[in-house]
Amino acid sequence: MAADDNGFDTLLSRSADAFGELGAGFEEARSRLCLGERLRRAGRRVEARRQLRAALRRFEDMSCTPWALRTERELKASGETLRARDVAHGIDELTPQEVQVATMAASGRSNKDIAAELFLSVRTIEAHLHRVYRTLGVHSRRELPSVVGTADASASSRGTCGPPRDRA
């Protein structure tokens, strides 16, 4: 990471390859993300996309949503056009509070009522709804009920990176 602009690609490539050989998938993906970021900043966008795509696949396979989102942002910055996310995945990108606000708005409550119930300002509710609309690809409150109908189930199933753990 601290290498100068002339030697970073060799070092980060070796790092990613070594982690891959060890079976350390997360570290491999993170190294590829770092390499892709540096390559893009050095103006080597085609090479960057190759590394970023590999990192994205790995992060998605491990259900590392925050890392996958970061990688997608970097891919977009490199000029790549990404596929549209499905609505279920979009709900997974919302915070629990945004899901709660969206569900309450879908049930017909006003921003003022939602704000009072959640002890938040009306402006905060508006900001949450703006992000909800953008993330889910909806344009009005009328569209919310069909999109957030399964939001509670999606929010409760949201996890961290890696396979689900058994609770003993």
Percent of the chain with pLDDT over 70: 77
Q: Give the model's pLDDT for residue 93.
A: 78
Model pTM? Answer: 0.50
Find all residues with CB under 8 Å of 168, minimum gap 6, and list them: none
Token pair listed for 66: 């925050």
Q: Give the model's pLDDT for residue 151.
A: 36
Give burial (CB, 10 Å; 0-12/13-18/19+) of 160. Answer: exposed
| Options 1.10.10.10, 3.40.30.10, 3.60.15.10, 3.30.450.40; CATH of 87-157 | 1.10.10.10
Token pair listed for 13: 């490539």
pLDDT beneath 70, residues of the chain:
1-7, 82-90, 149-168
